[in-house]
Structure 1
Amino acid sequence: MSVYLLIHGAWHGAWCWGKMIALLESAGHRAIAIDLPGHGEDKTPISELTLEAYANCVATVIDGLDQEVILVGHSMGGMAVSQAAEYRPNRIKSLVYISAFLFKNGQNMIDVIPPHPYVQISDDGDTMTVSKHKVKDMLYNNCHMEDVQDAVSRWQVEALRPLLTPLELTQGNFGRIPRYYIECLRDNSVTIETQRSMQTASPCKKVFTLDTDHTPLFSTPGQLCSILLNQI
Structure 2
Amino acid sequence: MSTFVLVHGAYHGAWCWHKVVPELEARGHDVVAFDLPAHGIDMIPFGDVSFEDYVERVCEAVRTPDESVTLVGHSMAGMVITQVAERCPDEIGTLVYLTAYLPPDDESMIDQRVEGSLISESFVADEARGVGVIADDKLEGLFYADCSASDVALARALVRPEPLEPLSAPVSISEGRFETVRRVYVRCGNDRAITIEQQRAMIEDRGCDLTLTLPASHSPFLSMPIETAETLIAAGK
Provide the TM-score with structure 1 as the length reference.
Answer: 0.96
Change beyond 3 A, Cα 1:9–1:231: closer
Q: Deviations over 1:115-161 (max 9, x none)?
A: 52111111437211113332110000001110110010012000111
Decide whether the 8 Å contact of 2:132 with 2:163 is kept in 1.
yes
SS of residue matched to 2:185: strand
State the AA in 2 paired with 1:86.
E
Alignment of 1:26-175 (within 5 A): 26-115=26-115, 116-124=120-128, 126-175=130-179
SS of residue matched to 1:133: coil
State the AA in 2 paired with 1:12.
H
Unaligned runs of 5+ in 2: none
Q: Deviations over 1:68-100 (max 9, x none)?
A: 110000000111111111111001000000110
Decide whether the 8 Å contact of 1:125 with 1:160 is kept in 2.
no
State the distance in 2 between where 1:155 and 1:17 align.
13
SS of residue matched to 1:200: helix
State the distance in 2 between where 1:47 and 1:85 align.
26
State the distance in 1 between where 2:20 and 2:131 align.
28
State the distance in 2 between where 1:87 and 1:68 align.
14
State the AA in 2 paired with 1:166.
P
Unaligned runs of 5+ in 1: none
Match 1:218 to one of 188, 212, 222? 222
**Aligned Cα RMSD in Å?**
1.3
Q: Which residue of 1 aligns with 2:183?
A: 179
State the distance in 2 between where 1:231 and 1:73 align.
13
State the distance in 1 between where 2:50 and 2:205 align.
25
SS of residue matched to 1:132: coil
Q: Which residue of 2 aligns with 1:4?
A: 4
Change beyond 3 A, Cα 1:125–1:47: closer
Decide whether the 8 Å contact of 1:113 with 1:194 is kept in 2.
no
> Deviation of residue 45 (structure 1)?
1.4
Query: Once structures 1 and 2 are overlaid, which stretch shifts more, 216-225 or 71-80?
Result: 216-225
Q: Does 1:189 align with 2:193?
A: yes
Provide the TM-score with structure 2 as the length reference.
Answer: 0.94
Percent of matched pairs sharing the same residue: 35
- Deviant stretches of 4+, over 6 Å: none
Count of residues in correspondence between the two structures: 232
